Structure 1
Amino acid sequence: MTIKVVMAGATGWVGKALIPAILAQGDMQLTGAVARRAAGHDVGVATGGQPNGQKISGTLAEALSATCDVVVDYTKPVAVRDHAMLAISRGRHVVIGTSGLRAADYREINAAARANGVGVVAAGNYSITATLMKKFALMAAQYVPDVEIIDYASARKADAPSGTALELAETLSEIRGAPTALPTSEIYGHPEARGATLGEGTAVQVHSLRLPSYQLSCEAVFGLPEERLTIRHDAGTSAVPYVAGTLLAIRRVREFTGLVRVLDALMDETLSV
């Protein structure tokens, strides 16, 4: 069965890599694309390829007038929540690649998805190797409770921490033991220098760097007496690493109801995309 896809953020950094990938899949059909500034243009041309006759819509509401099974969102933090809720209300499954949502947003999206009988995948990073980095960090946390996260991104990235770092911190907080570091409440001087304390379990310190020359990197630093372990993922300058995981999510999102927030849950059964 062909999966009909609407892509929001078609002319963005990831969208330009994802559109031709969707068009190349034998089991997918692009039935809509959204990019406000490129509305009315051919999506193939607008993403650097050949004309394909598919016109770009200015809004998701307009694009949803076409038949579709899955909406993929790689837009902006200010738009993604409303996009997800609109798609869910129309009975569409959703794959969220945009970071910046808060825990309350995810709870609302999950409730709406369950009420409407659709699935949602929202991963902090759709890179297969970034997902493996997270899996390895979770393995390490079972043995080493002292861990902190350093999140690197370009000077222009608007959200902090990145979705990758936030998802990693939240998951680590659920499984790690008590750290030996002083809690921030006992720090003198400027406690904010210790970074953000994130996670609803045993919270994890996250430090976000925003500097020129970085694209996206994330590292989990573990410490024991007289030894350290660093598990790090570095992304290149293109969006190619995020394509395979997004295609996997598009294929799997219709299999469940409600929100799944981790790509590794979909990878457990297959690493082939």
Structure 2
Amino acid sequence: MIRITLAGCTGWVGKALVAAIAAAPDLELVAGVSRKAAGRDLGEAAGLPANGLPVFAGLADALFVPSDVVIDYTKPDSVKANVLGAIAGSRHVVVGASGMTAEDYAEIDAAAREAGVGVLAAGNFSITATLLRRFAREAVRYVPDVEIIDYASPSKPDTPSGTGRELAETLAAERMAATSKPVAELGGVRETRGGAIGAPHPVQVHSLRMPGFVLSCEAVFGLPDERLVIRHDAGTSAAPYVGGTLLAARRVAEKAGLRRGLDSLMT
């Protein structure tokens, strides 16, 4: 039985995970973390029947309850501290929250290796978003010119999305130099070219935030006289993220250190 502490248990994905973990025969939810629901019954806080489990205001207190894995679906302003705190507490960690940089992940990797625990982080735990990343990695082997468009609702607190950032960092590390003119050499309003993410060949990412979108991400590839677009669109339900998150929770302990992307578990 894998014992799980769920940080962000009253969030959009968190509520769906409470129900899914309760239904899984090999997983056991032992505690939740939510600032707004601290002190309440975890089941009731997630909109489900009472289950007698505690909700804590912060992860540090929740770690006093014995567990094996911490799943974090919190906010950009708390996720890094939560992950490092969980590692220090000898927990494996599944990271579904966004907002961390490549430098943050490097720090987390080093801490996890030293502690001998596994961390699996993904900008998006849905199967189709994972396939977007896999197909884009295949395409960038042949087409170096690629840019990413990241769509989300106007209330999303970070930019780009974790999906867009993770994809850009992956492709930047694997592609050849683009043929487009460097942004530094452009005139006009350079910000219209988006933000450069990743190394050694940064990828331009353009983030749209407006009503009508939940989360969408597309990689646009270009060659002379032809173009390829690979796109993922998410609906209004959190269901697409649940299965991948639980898969990660089951397998995160297999390897010490950080792994990025659900596709790291795919054969």
- TM-score, structure 1 normalization: 0.95
* Alignment correspondent of 1:181: 180
AA paired with 1:168?
A: L
2:209 counterpart of 1:210: yes
* Alignment correspondent of 1:142: 141
* Alignment correspondent of 1:18: 17
Q: CA deviation at 1:110?
A: 1.1
> Residues 24-60 of structure 1: CA distance to partner in whole angstroms, max 9, x if unpaired?
1110001111111111211112212211111212221
Superposition map of 1:221-260 within 5 A: 221-260=220-259
> Residues 150-185 of structure 1: CA distance to partner in whole angstroms, max 9, x if unpaired?
000111111111111111111111222222211101
Superposition map of 1:32-111 within 5 A: 32-111=31-110
In structure 2, the residue corresponding to 1:189 is in which secondary structure? coil
The number of residue pairs the alignment matches comes to 267
2:163 counterpart of 1:164: yes
In structure 2, the residue corresponding to 1:144 is in which secondary structure? coil
- Structure 2: tracts of 5 or more residues without a match: none
2:121 counterpart of 1:127: no
AA paired with 1:153?
A: A
Q: Distance in 2 between matches of 1:110 and 1:145?
A: 28
Q: Distance in 2 between matches of 1:232 and 1:206?
A: 14
Aligned-residue Cα RMSD (Å) equals: 1.0
* Alignment correspondent of 2:4: 5
- TM-score, structure 2 normalization: 0.98
- Structure 1: tracts of 5 or more residues without a match: 269-273
Q: CA deviation at 1:229?
A: 0.8
* Alignment correspondent of 1:152: 151
Q: CA deviation at 1:225?
A: 1.6
Please identify runs of 4+ aligned residues in structure 1 that moved more than 6 A: none
Percent of pairs identical after alignment? 59
AA paired with 1:183?
A: P
In structure 1, the residue corresponding to 2:43 is in which secondary structure? helix
In structure 2, the residue corresponding to 1:112 is in which secondary structure? helix
Q: Distance in 2 between matches of 1:11 and 1:209?
A: 26
